[in-house]
Amino acid sequence: MRETPRPQGTAGDSRAEHPQPCPGRALAHTTGASGSGTPHRSDGRPPHTPRGARYAGQGGRPGTSPPVPGRPAFLFATLLCVFAVITWQVASGGPLRRLDERLDRAVTGHGPSWLAETLADLGSMPVALPVLAAAIGYALWRGLRRQALIAAVTMALVPLLIVPLKDWIARPGPLEAATGYYPSGHTATAMVAYGGAALLLSPCVRRGWLMPAAAGALTVATGIGLVLHGYHWPLDVLASCCLCGALLVVSSTGMRRSSSRTPRR
């Protein structure tokens, strides 16, 4: 069968004319028409494209999501609140202090003495500070100057906070009448030195979670050695962990913000 050709329009036929643009509809397809604010849509609905589904992040850059605020601040406030409660109980001789002293008498002297002393020495300055110094040197070699400075300043704040608290509380030690045992300076040194080193080195290794885990294990080992050997009460160790944990939260936030400030072309 032969197909019948379609009829061709003549010069006088109106159906053969090209469609003329309507002036009233041309404005509907311009950017921001009818208050929609979206290109190529006249009904105000977002375009069904991956690009149209993106929302501007911080600074108006497309495809970025703003940081989640409040989590570091909540952890910082929680640690300081726990530290304040412990300090109040120790200073006033409350029930928490009496429970702490009974617990210390039950655990002091248990285990090998040499092991407890070795663990306690992990928080001494000759052991902990070289670890932090090596991490700071490596960070400087990698060009992380701001992060290295934050770690050094955080470590410098430890004696400025711990020494006045020792003089103010004036708590005697478990095995002697000398005062100045609250909070634990060895625990504070271990936590900030090993924690600062972990913050500096974790972005540089493949399994970054190993560094904070190692820092936490060293800090816990230091506290256990101090309590078992009779150098500190358990609340002395716990209070230092809370105070220095708040310091590390601030230090971690500062390092994260410094890392995000990369130069743009």
Task: Quote the pLDDT of residue 62.
Answer: 44
Average per-residue pLDDT for the chain: 81
Residue 54 is predicted with a pLDDT of 45
Residue 47's pLDDT is what? 52
DSSP state of 19: P
175 near 181, Cβ under 8 Å? no
Token pair for 99:
């429970």
Question: What is the arithmetic mean of pLDDT over 205-220?
Answer: 92
- Report which of residues 34 and 155 the model is more confident about: 155
Beta bridge partners of 62: 56
Please give the single-letter amino acid code of residue 168. W
Alpha carbon distance 139, 206 (integer Å): 16
Q: Encode pLDDT of 17-61 as tens digits.
A: 555 555 544 444 444 444 444 455 555 555 554 444 444 444 444
Supply 204's token pair.
């540089």
Residue range 4-15: average pLDDT?
49
Q: Would you say residue 248 has pLDDT above 50?
A: yes
* Residue extents of the structural domains in the chain: 71-259
Residue-wise pLDDT for 112-126, tens only, equals 889 999 999 999 999
Amino acid at 142: R
How does pLDDT run across 65-105, given as a tens digit for each residue? 444 456 889 999 999 999 999 999 999 999 999 999 999 98
Nearest to 28 by CA among 38, 19, 20, 18: 38
What per-residue confidence (pLDDT) applies to 259?
78
Handedness of CA 123, 220, 97, 233 (dihedral sign): negative
